[in-house]
Amino acid sequence: MSKSLSPAVRFDQPGHPPATITEFQGVRSLHLGTSWVQGAMRITKPDNIELEYIQMMMMWLLFIDQPRHIVQLGLGSAALTKFCYRRLPQARVTAIELNPNVIAMCQAQFALPSNDERLAVREMNAMDFVLDPANRNTVDVLQVDLYDEEARGPVLDSQEFYQGCADVLRDGGIMTTNVFGDDFTNYDKNLQTMELVFDAVVWLPEVHDANIVVIAFKNAPSLDFSVLYERAAEIKKILNLPAKTWVNGLKGWMLDQQ
């Protein structure tokens, strides 16, 4: 049994929203001083991905099976960072997080490993990372989940930002991103902006709490659904992720576009 933590567990270095936690039925959730859940972890399975929409951010596995460098923009509860680091040992993993309170909380309460030759958690602005010429054409997979404490919509959603995201990707690279907001114009704005800079942009059906996961391709893929379903079965077997539902979502999107 895990001892329930006091709500007093808190990191609040000034100048950034404080990182706090709650626990319910064996799941620890991260908050930035508000009721919005910024990430979650099942305490008995710290390296698993607990939330469905975060699992969907791994959808790129349908197309890339041997990534060399995976980058998360926004650490959240470190679910993607830990999963990629633990389960994809051939890859380097970099996480970019502006808020030092989030990094400290993930290290203290969400089982985030220390940096090593494969893992780099960096305290910096995601915009600075994608605009740095040194990062161009160095990333296979970019996972973007950037929200502040109000969670009204993505913190960075300009054409300059998404162009930077495309620029850091290698040929064949993929970005997955969560587009969430309390205003539906958010979705359209983000999708239209992504479509200006990526070769192909696909979004899956909405999952819990109005989260919509988008997959954006630097180079448009050919979608062979028989191959994708085979790949989904492998992902389920090896990584225990519900990849068949991702393929169903892609197929549904294709039908909707026709």
189-245 pLDDT, tens digit per residue, is 888 999 999 999 998 877 666 678 999 999 999 889 999 999 999 999 999 999 999
Q: Which domain range does residue 211 map to? A: 48-257
Residue 31 maps to a domain: no
Total domains in the fold of the chain: 1
Q: Are 43 and 27 in contact (CB under 8 A)?
A: yes
pLDDT at 153 over 60: no
- Give the separation between CA 36 and CA 61, rounded to whole angstroms: 28
Q: What pLDDT is attached to residue 55?
A: 95
pLDDT at 33 over 90: no
Residue 41 maps to a domain: no
- Give the separation between CA 95 and CA 112, rounded to whole angstroms: 11
Residue 219 maps to a domain: yes
Band (pLDDT 50/70/90 cuts) for residue 126 is very high
Residue 16 maps to a domain: no
- Give the separation between CA 252 and CA 258, rounded to whole angstroms: 10
Phi, psi of 74 (to 5 degrees): 100, 115
- Give the separation between CA 72 and CA 184, rounded to whole angstroms: 25
Any idea how long the chain is? 258
| Mean pLDDT, residues 42-70 taken together | 96
Residue 120 maps to a domain: yes
Residue 198 maps to a domain: yes
Residue 209 maps to a domain: yes
Residue 79 maps to a domain: yes
Give the position of tokens 């040929």: 171
What CATH number did the domain enclosing 217 receive?
A: 3.40.50.150
Q: DSSP state, 206?
A: P
